[in-house]
Copies of this chain bind each other. A is one copy, B any other.
Amino acid sequence: MTEEQPVSEIPFPLSPQVLAGDTSDVYFLRTHRVMEMEGVNPRVTMEFFPSGDGILCGMKEVLALLGLGQVLPSDGEVWALEEGELFRVKEVALRVIAPYLSFGVYETAILGILAHESGWATAARECVEAAQGVPIVSFGARHVHPTVVGAMEYAAIVGGCVSCSTPVGAQLAGVTPSGTMPHAMMLCFGDTVRATVAFDKHMPPEVPRIVLVDTFHDEPEEALQVAEALRDRLYGVRLDTPGERGGVTPDLVIEARVRLDQAGFQHVKLVVSGGVTPTRIRQFLEVGAPVDSFGVGSYISGARPIDFTADIKEVEGKPVAKRGRIPGIIANPRLHRAI
């Protein structure tokens, strides 16, 4: 895949490892074998609920798994909340009614998908709410293992990000990936303006020209240099001052804006990245720093999962529960029949 190929709504790729149960807790595999050999396979109702409030994400992937021919039998029922819905702590988000052996080995996978993706989506939503309309882009692929980059970026967009930085995440979410220019490029060219001109020369017109302006000179100075070089073709500049220099401050954004405006570059947008969190977003907005877009990294991609729990609440129609839990289903009128 290259970034230019058309993006469309595609099914979640279901890993053969997951389907084979290799990613399941081994005791589910052992349970499967024992019950099969004993001929025990009751029709059960299993409910899945979260350990905190959040935004539901991963349900599409879970339904894709349960909906495969080889999983639930025809009389299986699945009730679920929708992808992207808010949930409250302990609210039932998913209910599966089927013979236990048909889906029991997937308990680990279902819990993991919902926990991890809901964690990312919820963190993204916190940023989006803090930003009060200023767009947020997911920039955190570098903080997670590449095999979950797609799921993470998909979840960030379910949580409200307008875009993300990787092709795999963008494809899953049906958006165009977003990016500017890295420090490595500036250092290889040895000069920000030279790199910028080359970028402008070779990139297709639909790629916006957003230039990183903190590599060699003071940020407003470098911003003015690239603005002079690209003029109207410059879409924006990105401020990413490292922590060693105090990070990007609201005052720096204000100053860069004024200096660009005074030189006639009112059209150049300001992108802020580097250690952005909901708290810092609020600090920028409170003092009126004119940020046009935030790039958020580890606040989203490093977010803790929101753990989910699965409970068998009925066996052959009879309410049951382990000690500490309420026997029988917990009614939730927000659930809809999904399968």
Q: Is A29 in the interface zone, CB < 8 Å from B?
A: yes
Residue in B144, B181, B255, B320 whose CB lies within 8 Å of A31 = B181
Chain A 30-63, CB-CB to B under 8 Å as 1, else 0, gives 1101110110111010100000000000100000
Q: Is A10 in the interface zone, CB < 8 Å from B?
A: no
Chain A 153-167, CB-CB to B under 8 Å as 1, else 0, gives 000000000000111
Residues of chain B within 8 A (CB-CB) of A198 are 34-35, 37-38, 40
Residues of chain B within 8 A (CB-CB) of A322 are 183, 186-187, 214-216, 242
**Contacting pair A100 B184 (CB below 8 A):** yes
Q: Which of A136-162 contact B (CB under 8 A)?
A: 139, 141-151
Cα distance A28–B166 when bound, in Å? 10
Cα distance A20–B203 when bound, in Å? 20
**Contacting pair B326 A255 (CB below 8 A):** yes
Cα distance A112–B177 when bound, in Å? 18
Q: Is A1 in the interface zone, CB < 8 Å from B?
A: yes
Residues of chain B within 8 A (CB-CB) of A165 are 25-27
**Contacting pair A255 B325 (CB below 8 A):** yes
User: How many A residues touch the partner, as a band?
Assistant: 35 or more
**Contacting pair B40 A189 (CB below 8 A):** yes
**Contacting pair A107 B203 (CB below 8 A):** no
Task: Report the minimal beta-carbon distance from A91 to chain B, rounded to whole angstroms.
Answer: 15
Interface centre among A139, A218, A319, by most chain B C-beta atoms within 10 angstroms, is A218
Residues of chain B within 8 A (CB-CB) of A243 are 251, 324
Residues of chain B within 8 A (CB-CB) of A75 are none
**Contacting pair A38 B202 (CB below 8 A):** yes
Identify which of A79-87, A264-272, A301-309 touches chain B: A301-309
Cα distance A26–B139 when bound, in Å? 10
**Contacting pair B26 A177 (CB below 8 A):** yes
Given the interface pairs A22-B1, A34-B203, A305-B143, the reply to whether A27 lies near B180 with Cβ below 8 Å is yes
Given the interface pairs A143-B115, A302-B305, the reply to whether A323 lies near B166 with Cβ below 8 Å is no
Can you report 13 A-B residue pairs in the complex whose CB atoms are below 8 A from each other?
Answer: A22-B167, A25-B141, A26-B179, A37-B198, A41-B188, A44-B187, A46-B184, A107-B142, A108-B142, A188-B315, A217-B323, A255-B325, A302-B305
